[in-house]
């Protein structure tokens, strides 16, 4: 059986790397040396040139949202906003009702 791997992201480089769990606690970007963020095994990175998608991803990661597989069959990580308009609507909703931002960002319906 293979080694379990998860994805890590470097936001400044817009790079995504899959690494095994046995790499140690802190992973550094092979390009720039900045510590990478663990995003989970169900993560699909946006294209490097897609500025909007990387801005959305940055908001999600700084809010504490990750992309871990649900269930035993790797069913994905559930709903995540894909556009800046969706993120702005969810931020406004979270402020209006007092819900934590991370919860508002992953809620399927606002």
Give this prediction's pTM: 0.84
* Whether the predicted pLDDT of 58 surpasses 80: yes
Rounded to an integer, the average pLDDT of 19-38 is 84
- Taking each helix axis from N to C terminus, what angle separates 84-97 and 51-63, rounded to the nearest 10 degrees? 30
Q: Which domain holds residue 47?
A: 5-106
Per-residue confidence at 51, pLDDT binned at 50, 70, 90? very high
Contact, 54 vs 40, CB < 8 A? no
Q: What is the count of structural domains for the chain?
A: 1
Give the pLDDT confidence score for residue 8 in this predicted structure: 94
Q: Which two tokens stand for residue 82?
A: 């894909």
Contact, 3 vs 41, CB < 8 A? no
* Whether the predicted pLDDT of 75 surpasses 60: no
């Amino acid at each position: 059986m293979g080694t379990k791997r998860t994805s890590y992201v470097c936001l400044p480089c817009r790079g995504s790397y899959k690494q095994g769990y046995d790499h140690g606690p802190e992973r550094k970007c092979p390009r720039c040396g900045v510590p990478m963020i663990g995003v989970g095994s169900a993560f699909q990175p946006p294209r490097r040139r897609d500025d909007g998608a990387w801005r959305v991803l940055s908001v999600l990661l700084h809010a504490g949202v990750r992309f871990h597989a649900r269930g035993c069959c790797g069913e994905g990580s559930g709903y995540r906003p894909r556009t800046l308009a969706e993120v702005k609507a969810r931020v406004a909703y979270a402020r209006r009702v007092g819900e934590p931002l991370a919860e508002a960002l992953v809620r399927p319906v606002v």
